[in-house]
Amino acid sequence: MIEKLVMTREHWAQILTEVERVVPEEACGLLAGIDERVIESIPVTNTLHSRVRFRMEPLEQLKAFQRIEAQGWDLIGIYHSHPLGQDGPSQTDIDEAYYPEVVSVIVSGRDGDWRCRGFHIWDGQTHEVPVLIED
């Protein structure tokens, strides 16, 4: 299991660009990397276009998985936003956590004041994972 997730400021900026682009809807995407280090952030369309829920567009998600595999990377994180401000997993996030080995990154905030927290979600339980943003 990943004990911490490390991304660059550039990855964080890419995620925030996507989050702000779709506000007030939830944004979502995949984090590809090796071990605990993010190499690429891949946004995926939220087909629900919801403020409180996300579902990744299947073809985009498949293409992202294929890219990750072709590059020899691993899926190490799945991110989504909570534009209404909740900074931890919702009950829906817990119920629909299908990849317990990866870090679920939640970007939360309002009015451009965004922050992120990471979690392992397994069997209805959550365990916080530090998310480090480096230069």
| Nearest-angstrom CA–CA distance, 17 and 128 | 24
Return the active site residues: 26
- Helix, strand, coil fractions of the chain, as percent rounded to 5: 25, 40, 35
Burial class for 39, CB neighbours closer than 10 Å (0-12, 13-18, 19+): middle
| Nearest-angstrom CA–CA distance, 120 and 100 | 6
